[in-house]
């Protein structure tokens, strides 16, 4: 007993003798004005832009409540700052200390599988985040000599996207559409499909309902996707300052893995709310409003964020950050201010259309308006081969279908095109949380483009599709595995695949007889 006591006393003595305290000179200011999450501070003459500030409650000595803030406006004799967190305790006359460092978040392996707030603090109740490193949230994007063109694909597992609007590692692809038509669903499917694809995922929720995020986290956990995913959450009830820094914090966490040469997928859901939060802060800080009351630098707000997505060349580690920003439009108005800004920044967009959605074509991807500026460079050879004509055929079908509504007399060629198109539309339908591997996608598109589906009734296509996958898995003689491995359609594989699909067709009884 006494030995433990001695040990403790010894330890304490050691600690106290090791303890050195020096009086350090600190810069302090005084709060002159607070309200709506921002504070005006006098003093703090040598504070840096976006430096962290600590607000201390001078009145209450017993509980030292410190709240952090960021200096955003440096004026002649005052500093405008946003308060990160609860600002209700801050009074006029409170002391503000500058901490001599730019706002940072903890990064590292410790954040994987966690739900954190934009300051990197845990909010999932699984204990504090272990990390050795901090990264500044604002960072200038990698320069041109460090980059290389995008070549490797990100398999989203969504047929319509992987075939027609391929996304590459290091690309920035915008997902745009009205509310409630499956923008987040595409992003979540993409995360789920990254299992075993050597990809870390970061999902940044900006101004989302916490119930929705809880649902998403549950879905990701069930799919085993939280093993490589971090969720950065700034909820709808969080102050605008947290919403504003959330995507930058997520980006800083992604850059840690980039520096290690890994591939990261980051989703910003959604940047419309981010712009709104920034507008709120800017107006409160009395910056002059511009179009739609957004401040003059909203473009830079998003361009500097999305420019941090990159594909590095081998000399710089070869890592990549793929960004999937989401923008919500009002009644399909893509010509509004923020949507046009982000469209011009990104390398293409996936446009989701309400009409398609309500017709039951889900995911409601509009093939005509959606583009990927990286294009087929980000597809495996096999997919390139089968998907080359798909976009064209899908677009032609839509035009013909509108035209054919009026006349009943059609020539054989047009009829054939229409029939093919109907089947394509059926193939592009896909359930949520059901991403498809690339070899299966290749096999169904192969069947469609080779005309093997032409005598399968349109209403039976979905049934046929899932039956075909099962058949190819069980009796395919490893043809799916070969496609996945070789990544191209050799003559050998083409022949084998054709025979196997025809074999399966012989087992079904709903084929149209000639």
Partner 1 sequence: MKITPKQYANALYQSISGQNDKQIKDVIDNFINVVIENNNVSKINKIIEQFEIIWNKEEGVVEAEIISARKLDDKIVKLLNSYITELSGAKDVIAQEQVDKNVLGGVIIKYGDKVLDGSLKIRIDNLKNELAK
Site residues (vs partner 1, CB under 8 A): 12, 15-16, 19, 21, 23-29, 43-45, 61
| Rounded Cα gap, residues 72 and 285, in angstroms | 9
Q: How far is the CB of 18 from partner 1 (least distance, A)?
A: 9
Q: Residue 484 and residue 439: Cα distance in Å, rounded?
A: 5
Q: Which residues contact 354 (CB under 8 A, 6 or more apart)?
A: 177, 178, 181, 332, 364
CA distance 461 to 455: 10
Pairwise CA distance, residues 128 & 304, whole Å:
30
Smaller CB separation from partner 1, 49 or 512? 49
Nearest to 381, CA basis, from 492, 484, 263: 484
CB of 97 to partner 1, least distance (A): 8
Nearer to partner 1, 73 or 194 (CB): 73
Q: Closest approach of Cβ 95 to partner 1, in Å?
A: 8
**What CA–CA distance (Å, rounded) separates 311 from 378?**
12
Burial class (CB in 10 A: 0-12, 13-18, 19+), 375: middle
Cis preceding linkage at 101, omega within 30? no
Cβ(157)–Cβ(364) below 8 Å: no
Is 279 a residue of the active site? no
Strand partners, 290: none
Shortest Å, Cβ 22 to partner 1: 9
Q: How far apart are CB 103 and partner 1 at their closest, in Å?
A: 21
Q: What distance in Å separates the CA atoms of residue 205 and residue 232, rounded to the nearest whole number?
A: 6
Q: Measure the CA–CA gap between 392 and 8, rounded to whole angstroms.
A: 78
Nearer to partner 1, 43 or 332 (CB): 43
Tokens at residue 47, please?
A: 């504070």
Q: Tell me how crowded residue 411 is: count the other CB atoms within 10 A of its CB.
A: 8
What is the token pair recorded at 341? Answer: 């800004």
Given the complex with partner 1, which of 45 and 455 has the nearer CB atom?
45
- Least distance to partner 1, CB of residue 114, Å: 23
> In angstroms, what is the minimal distance from the CB of 58 to partner 1?
11
**In the complex with partner 1, which residue's Cβ is closer, 95 or 148?**
95
Q: How far is CA 432 from CA 156, 174, 184, 186, 370, in A?
A: 12, 19, 10, 8, 20
Q: Is 97 or 496 the residue whose CB approaches partner 1 more closely?
A: 97
Closer CB to partner 1, residue 46 or residue 411?
Answer: 46
Residue with Cβ nearer partner 1 (43 or 113)? 43
Residue 23 CB, nearest approach to partner 1 (Å): 4
Of 97, 373, 398, 423, which one is the catalytic site residue? 373
Q: Which residue, 61 or 491, is less far from partner 1 as judged by CB?
A: 61
**Are residues 190 and 162 in contact, defined by beta-carbon separation less than 8 angstroms?**
no
DSSP code at position 180: T
Determine the Cα–Cα distance for residues 310 and 319; give it in Å rounded to an integer: 8
Cβ at position 121, least distance to partner 1 in Å: 18
Rounded CA Rg of the chain: 28
| Nearer of residues 24 and 314 to partner 1, judged by Cβ | 24
Q: What is the DSSP string of 189-240?
A: HHHHHTTTTTEEEEEEEEEE-HHHHHHHHHHHHHTTGGGGEEEEEEETTS-H
Smallest gap from Cβ 86 to partner 1, in A, equals 22
Cα torsion for 408, 411, 413, 414, to the nearest 10°? -30
DSSP 62: S
Characterize 344-357 residue by residue with b for buried, 16 or more Cβ atoms within 10 angstroms of its Cβ, and e for exposed: ebbbbbbbbbbebb
Are 61 and 128 in contact by the 8 Å Cβ rule? The answer is no
Residue labelled with tokens 């290690």: 260
Instruction: Return the active site residues.
Output: 373
């Amino acid at each position: 007993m006494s030995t433990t006591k001695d040990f403790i006393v010894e330890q304490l003595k050691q600690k106290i003798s090791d303890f050195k305290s020096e009086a350090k000179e600190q810069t302090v200011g005084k709060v002159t004005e607070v309200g709506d999450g921002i504070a005006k501070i006098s003093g703090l003459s040598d504070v840096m832009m976006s430096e962290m500030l600590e607000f201390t409650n001078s009145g209450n000595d017993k509980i030292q409540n410190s709240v952090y803030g960021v200096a955003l406006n440096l004026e002649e004799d005052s500093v405008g700052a946003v308060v990160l967190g609860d600002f209700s305790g801050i009074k006029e006359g409170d002391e503000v200390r500058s901490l001599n460092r730019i706002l940072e978040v903890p990064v590292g392996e410790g954040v994987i599988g966690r739900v954190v707030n934009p300051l990197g603090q845990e909010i999932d109740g699984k204990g504090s985040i272990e990390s050795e490193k901090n990264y500044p949230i604002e960072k200038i994007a990698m320069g041109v000599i460090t980059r290389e063109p995008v070549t490797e694909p990100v398999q989203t597992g969504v047929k319509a996207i992987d075939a027609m609007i391929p996304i590459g590692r290091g690309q920035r692809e915008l997902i745009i559409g009205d509310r409630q038509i499956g923008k987040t669903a595409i992003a979540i499917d993409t995360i789920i499909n990254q299992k075993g694809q050597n990809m870390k995922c970061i999902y940044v929720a900006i101004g989302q309902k916490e119930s929705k995020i809880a649902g998403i986290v549950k879905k990701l956990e069930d799919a085993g996707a939280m093993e490589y995913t971090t969720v950065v959450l700034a909820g709808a009830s969080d102050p605008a300052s947290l919403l504003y820094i959330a995507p930058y914090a997520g980006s800083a966490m992604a850059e840690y893995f980039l520096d290690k040469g890994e591939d990261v997928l980051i989703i910003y859901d959604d940047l419309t709310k981010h712009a709104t939060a920034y507008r709120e802060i800017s107006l409160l800080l009395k910056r002059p409003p511009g179009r739609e009351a957004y401040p003059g630098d909203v473009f830079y707000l998003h361009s500097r964020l999305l420019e941090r997505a990159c594909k590095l060349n081998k000399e710089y580690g070869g890592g990549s950050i793929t960004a999937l920003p989401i923008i919500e439009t009002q009644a399909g108005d893509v010509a509004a201010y923020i949507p046009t800004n982000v469209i011009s920044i990104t390398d293409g967009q996936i446009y989701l259309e309400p009409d398609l959605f309500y017709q039951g074509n889900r995911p409601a991807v509009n093939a005509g308006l959606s583009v990927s500026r990286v294009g087929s460079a980000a597809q495996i050879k096999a997919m390139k081969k089968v998907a080359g004509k798909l976009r064209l055929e899908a677009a032609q079908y839509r035009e013909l279908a509108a035209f054919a509504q009026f006349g009943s007399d059609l020539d054989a060629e047009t009829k054939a095109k229409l029939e093919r198109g109907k089947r394509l539309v059926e193939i592009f339908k896909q359930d949520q949380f059901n991403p498809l591997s690339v070899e299966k996608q290749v096999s169904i598109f192969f069947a469609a483009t080779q005309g093997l589906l032409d005598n399968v009734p349109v209403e039976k296509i979905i049934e046929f599709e899932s039956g075909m996958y099962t058949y190819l898995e069980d009796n395919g003689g490893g043809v799916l595995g070969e496609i996945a491995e070789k990544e191209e359609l050799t003559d050998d594989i083409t022949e084998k695949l054709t025979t196997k699909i025809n074999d399966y067709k012989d087992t079904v009884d709903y084929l149209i007889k000639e």
